[in-house]
Structure 1
Amino acid sequence: MSRVQLRALWSALVLAVAFTGFGYVTTQARSLRAVSPWQGDPYDAVVSFTLFLVPALAGVTTVRARLCRGGGPQPEYRVDQLLRAARLGVALVAVTVATDATAAVLRAERELWDGRTAWLIAALLPLAAGAGWCLVLLRRAVRELPPQERRRPGGDWLDDLALLAAPLADLRALSRFLRRHIAAAAAGLSLLAAALVVSGQTAGEGWPGVWLVLVELSVFASGFFAFCLLCDTLLRIAAPARPPGAARATAFAAALAVPVSGGLRAAVWSVVGLPGRVDSPVKLLVLMAGCAVLAGAVTLAAVRKRRTR
């Protein structure tokens, strides 16, 4: 791994740490959250996910990068996949900063602003600059990879998981099992992560009621599942024997539709032309379920139509 590639990975890690600190303070410190322009949906929906996804992605990337210690030559697929993960993490930071900046430009929650709001908005500037700098470094780092090697699947993250665990346990059988059932494993992991997030929120804010808990579980589990499928495709978590099929694309679209429609519930409800507004958890669950079914059906039809051409 070259110096440029190492520098790019370290820069992405530093950005992830800075972003996590910013996200935690601005969402968990009540005095700051109360004057934040992005405290409400749809802006808060983005922050709610990236606050967990960015550090998680940085963590697994850092663990895998341990295989690159010693300065010796590395398989090109490993370097490529590490750089892919870094770029995805930086992209998540950039999207979040853009979302927060949009909330500030549109003066969302303007009646709650005070002197602290200006400092929150100003804190976006170094994050934006850092994300831009990391993207430049990562672009240079990717250019150092041989183009023919980037097109080869090579190994995957599960292979390196077995290598990392080799001194403690033989996980090769587990890696093979996960590779065959990667979608089911992603679903189980997403549900577990969602349960942990909702449990933490309940412990800190009190029991909100069964229906609200179901809403939160649905949103986080679906969002995490969509992200896992995205990572598997972009980062090659489990190198597949063949490209993902219609079922994978349909599952991704349906899962992604749940948090998106939840964050944009007022707009979706208005576009559909339903009377009243989304003023209960039951209505929100029905709305998200309907959007998930519609998104999945449209995606499935589009994939099948493309294959018939």
Structure 2
Amino acid sequence: MAATRTGVRPYKNREAWQPHLLLAPALLFFAVFAIGPLIFTLYVSLSNWSITGAHSFVGLANYAEIFSSSTFRQTFGNTVIFAVVTVTLQYLLGLTMALMVYRTSRGQTFLRLSFLLPMMLAPVVVGIVWKMLFDPSYGPIPELLGNIGLGQIPWFSEKLPAMIAIIVADTWQWTPFMFLILFAALRSIPTAPLEAAVVDGASSYRVFRDHLIPMLIPASITAILLRSIEAFKLFDVVYMMTGGGPGVKTSTITLNAYFTGLRTGNLGTAAAMTMVLLVVVLAAAMIFVAILAKVRSRRGATGKLSVASAEVAAESAKEAINA
């Protein structure tokens, strides 16, 4: 009665805290399994932490050590090369495959399932398979290249061939991921602007350049962002194919951190490497997100009007043709 006299309804108070109560388990899980390990890793990177558990706070000494290390600089450069080259190849191949399947009227289901098979394999298995394919002794790829006159290529004993082999293996596995996102984006594109452009006499290339590519920009940025994050963490394929060799010429930051932390027992330096990688990935992600937000805001201001005008143009063109 007192609540009724004051005009306060009890159920409104429940509505205020119920969303927070429902989100509490997810937030607790995120805090324990994501924020907690991240804070611990940051602390380890600032400590002289050995594999035996003995540690002491050393501040930024681990970061100064890795930035002065030629091995870390080389592995960082390898990681950037792998990320840029593999993501670029995967995007171009994925877009080509998506356009091919999109324009195919028969067998789309079979093609989609066939293209997605490599992505379903574990990266360790992919590394083993491609190491066997590139093996100089019994691999079919060196034998095929030798039969066409290219000679014996030292796939795992020199830097450039070894990096090419790793890039080929990673591209083979993750191009289907790009295909999946881009094909879904193609299926969601309105056909009215494309039909209007064709009626106006635009060639297939002009339709692709002036209509399809701008409409695919948000999906493209999202796909590139997701694959770039994973490409910077490349580990399994490199470990199984080359082990980072010859020397450290194909090693990545994650592989270097693994060897530093678990082989030499210097967990502090390894944690510092992973924190540097985290900062680089976050910076790249922020840039991509900013670009995506800018593209979406620009499309939100002009997209509806352009689609509406294209629909009107298409309808007018159809009526003219029918007449």
TM-score by length of 1: 0.27
For the pair shown, which has the larger CA radius of gyration, 1 or 2? 2
Q: TM-score, normalised by structure 2?
A: 0.26
